[in-house]
Structure 1
């Protein structure tokens, strides 16, 4: 995965295998294990070695991976990259069974700030984590990915809604439940019993399915598109593209015999809903890991002063059909390089020092770069950047590749930007010292 010459098919494979944060975390874990990283258990004591390579997960949906370099953590600081594993989607409710007009449907809840219109008329499958009691009485969890299209949310025909192209509002309670099958006059099937049936092939020890965290997703596979194959189209580019590039850069750097500084990748869950959870950026995960690595508070404080976090989350590319939604001087173009994201109200964590460092790195790596500031009369989104900066007190920078259709069921990014971002992050992780006077 560290080979930058083959990133496009690797990213497409990663996206295809990662329909939920649980699957993305499993995929990253498997690639770290294959690269020789050792998995740590948060519930046990650690014995870290100089030049050791380690990773850990929490809730099966967040991951921290790091390299130790030599023992001089405090003096050298960490080169850190942060991203998030979750994306807006439709989550299945706890008691979801619906039987309406002879159709079996499932009630859903909107997770995050999803664009809802694109969810109609798509071939949908189901994936996530299922918790169950096994026949021995223990509680266990398993990942489920049906892969096959099993559901559909049909649009209402234009003949019955003549104003749909002029105005469209969607009621998520009544208009989003997907159709799974016909059930006639019968009662809707027991969904937990159906889950048990789906899982029994690989998990024969299931006694009863107790609960689940399941999401619908579009089965259309990721693709490289465009007349010149210059774009990548996929679900969950925000923000699995950043997770993939961060991991790829970490793996590439960890393979170097002359690794100069400790590096760290954190991929948090729950960014799209505020990050306030045990596995989110506003939770204790990263700070507690750093405390365990460094041993005591003073060393952590000194180390963070010598560290830098690059928060990587997609940026809004200037849409040719909606160019007026951008500040005329800050409209990032696809395939024109990663975007430095700035906001004077701290919705992004970038300041002049961290921005200057990234500009310097991009020039050294011969990578183009751009800047984004939201229009002054529009609200600005945010990232894990400001939250992480507040939690651990280190210099932080927000960057990302420009993207169209952010939070849609299918997004578009530039194929060249994938390589540009990888080059910049790889060079960042190779810095023995940050070039601040």
Structure 2
């Protein structure tokens, strides 16, 4: 019998690949999102200026975070919000304040580990460099060197015959990438990056720079039913939330996309989920429509948040690491994530909200629960629920190779997630 290739609509997933490629840093990701919001009719509002309370789409951009919302016609001060929460950052290697180093005739870059990267996945890859430069006049400049520039070279097996019995990497000594030949003092990485950004090196007074794998996303598998890509955790959810929000034409609530930075390091920052950014924006939105303290509390009492972050598909080589009765599969639809110890915020009432959204949209969904013998990760979900006192549900898409320089998901799942999020935002 001849095999009939599986067919699916690749347009959303192909657009996700473009979005990821344009977002090698959180700053690039939110700039790309802001451009898409502008094209959809949203406009940026400054936190330092007074806000008008009329209908329409607005967004705030701060550093690597973005909050966007759409006020439908007739919205009242006490109208509740429907929030999709996600994060823009991913584990990687980030440039230290004194970046130039090296030895034995190699120029190297001093880097610090950000978040919890799967260290071996960064070995022997062609790496670019991206982020932002802070300039003397108080402005910033984005820079993206999206070509092979850096490499963390692995030690040859001839010099470590036991490497295949267990690779051990010293985080300080073994992960500093090389970027050329010569003495360390001749490196001057920041001058090189400044030239790439088109600014004078003397005007650069600070930087937030990070590595990224320059290999572009690609469909994978016999029928192209998988997507291999960097930064699926968690630009997949940012993109899905953005697609859902910009497709809203009317809603009974006020739909919101909250894309935070620094989730991978605990969300403790002015642009993280545990900071005041979202709460301040929701309060100012209420006040711009004439509300006060009472209306804000009423609005939050009816508010629901979907915290969207990737989760684990069952790994075929390690099935014992997964819960035996919860076996999420790629292309099986988004996951409803549960942990009774509040590593995820989902409860029974929240489950009903997500199930109803999926049913309206005709989207299948799956359940994720960790193996009891394995530690469970967490998300912005419990932080959002506790900080703002709002009902929060944790959802996501199953992937393999989480926190690798290159991750893997089903090619159908991003569109299924976006469809479910749109249903959640509009009902």
TM category, shorter: over 0.9
Secondary structure at 2:139's aligned position in 1? Answer: strand
Q: Could you tell me which residue of structure 1 aligns to residue 224 of structure 2? A: 229
> CA contact under 8 A between 1:120 and 1:155: conserved in structure 2?
yes
Matched, 1:288 2:280: yes
Deviations 1:117-137 (A, max 9, x none): 01011011100011122xxxx
Q: Distance in 2 between matches of 1:29 and 1:321?
A: 40
Cα 1:287–1:186 change in 2 (3 A) is: closer
Distance, in Å, in 1 between the alignment partners of 2:203 and 2:369 is 51
2:189 maps to 191
Q: Which residue of 1 aligns with 2:39?
A: 34
Deviation at 1:74, TM superposition (A): 5.0
Secondary structure class of the residue paired with 2:163: coil
**Contact persistence 1:74–1:306 (CA under 8 A):** no
Secondary structure of 1:12 counterpart: helix
Alignment of 1:267-416 (within 5 A): 267-295=259-287, 296-416=292-412
1:151-192 Cα offsets, whole Å, 9 max, x none, are: 111111111111111111111211111110011x57332222
Offset, 1:265: 0.5
Give the alignment's TM-score, normalised by structure 2.
Answer: 0.94
Q: Which residue of 1 aligns with 2:154?
A: 155
Q: For residues 356 and 259 of structure 1, do their structure 2 counterparts lie closer, same or farther at Cα, with a shift above 3 Å needed?
A: closer
Q: Secondary structure at the match of 2:385?
A: helix
Give the TM-score of the pair, scaled to structure 1: 0.92
Which residue of structure 1 aligns with residue 58 of structure 2?
Answer: 54
Contact 2:93 2:113 in 1 (8 A): yes
SS, match of residue 216 in structure 1:
strand
- 3-state SS of paired residue (1:409): coil
Distance 1:74-1:187 versus aligned 2 partners, 3 A rule:
closer
CA distance in 2, matches of 1:412, 1:73: 43
Closer/same/farther in 2, CA of residues 269 and 148 from structure 1, 3 Å limit: same
Q: Counterpart of 1:276 in 2: which secondary structure?
A: coil
1:354, CA displacement in angstroms? 0.6
In structure 1, the residue matched to 2:24 is: 19
How far residue 360 of structure 1 moved from its aligned partner, in angstroms, is 2.1
The equivalent residue for 2:6 is none
1:10 equivalent to 2:9? Answer no
Structure 1: tracts of 5 or more residues without a match: 432-437
Q: Secondary structure at the match of 1:146?
A: strand
Q: Give the corresponding residue for 1:127.
A: 130
C-alpha distance after superposition, 1:293-335 (max 9, x if no partner) = 1122221211112121000000111000000001101121111
> Any conservation in 2 of the 1:317–1:403 contact (CA below 8 Å)?
yes
Q: CA RMSD in A?
A: 1.4
Moved more, 363-372 or 311-320: 363-372
Q: How far is the alpha carbon of 1:71 from its aligned partner? A: 4.1
Tell me the number of residue pairs that the alignment of Structure 1 and Structure 2 aligns.
Answer: 415
1:426 and 2:419 are equivalent in the alignment: no
- Displacement of 1:423 in angstroms is 1.4
- Equivalent position of 1:69 in the other structure: 72
Tell me, what secondary structure is at the counterpart of 1:364?
helix
Q: Quote the Cα distance in structure 2 between the aligned partners of 1:261 and 1:357.
A: 14
Q: Is the 8 A contact 2:241 2:257 kept in 1?
A: yes
Distance 2:75 2:141 in 1: 40
Where does residue 240 of structure 1 map in the other structure? 235
Change (3 A) 1:260 1:356: closer
Query: Pairwise mapping of residues 101-140 of structure 1 onto structure 2 (< 5 A)?
Result: 101-133=104-136, 138-140=137-139
Matches of 2:81 and 2:45 in 1, distance apart? 19
Deviations 1:345-379 (A, max 9, x none): 11101010011121122222221111111111221
Unaligned runs of 5+ in 2: 1-8
- Is the 1:86–1:271 Cα contact (8 Å) retained in structure 2? yes
**How far apart, CA to CA, are the structure 2 residues paired with 1:410 and 1:186?**
30
Q: Distance in 2 between matches of 1:262 and 1:18?
A: 27
Superposed CA deviations along residues 43-100 of structure 1, whole A, max 9, x for unmatched, are 1111120x221001112x1000001113434554111100000000000111021120
Deviations 1:16-69, CA, capped at 9 Å, x for gaps: 1000000000000000011110100011111120x221001112x100000111
Structure 2 partner of 1:435: none
Look up the match of 2:253.
261
